[in-house]
Amino acid sequence: MTQEIDTPEPQTAQEPPINSDDFAPAVEALPEDLRALNLAIEIYPDAAANYMARGDYFRQQREFVLAAADYRRALELVNQELARSRWGFTAQAVRDSVLLRLQEMGVAHE
């Protein structure tokens, strides 16, 4: 007769909750330009131009992965705006700029 043994699930340590104080030193260490761009995105998270601007910042810093991520987010937002709007001249200009930047970086999109 075979007896099955119940083995307990491995216990994982509970991480303490993260709060904004955990990030205070890191945020203060960021360059002022980047802090301003992050704040703009925090206040206006649906503004594609903010992501494009921060992507430009990262691109100038040669942080191409971060730049591409922001450009893709800008593209996603601007495409949503174009789908909702009948007058998307500004959105189209942002979209064209983002597509050009991604093309210059050799990054796939859409």
Tell me the per-residue pLDDT of 52-75, one tens digit each, with 9 for 90 and over.
999 999 999 999 999 999 999 999
Predicted TM-score of the model (pTM): 0.70
Task: Enumerate residues 6+ apart whose C-beta is below 8 A from 101.
Answer: 52, 55, 56, 59, 67, 71
pLDDT of residue 24: 47
Q: Greater confidence, 39 or 87?
A: 39
Task: Enumerate residues 6+ apart whose C-beta is below 8 A from 67.
Answer: 55, 56, 58, 59, 101, 105
Question: Structural domains in the chain?
Answer: 32-105 (1.25.40)
Token pair listed for 47? 């503004």
CB 48 within 8 A of CB 81: yes
Task: Enumerate residues 6+ apart whose C-beta is below 8 A from 77.
Answer: 46, 47, 48, 51
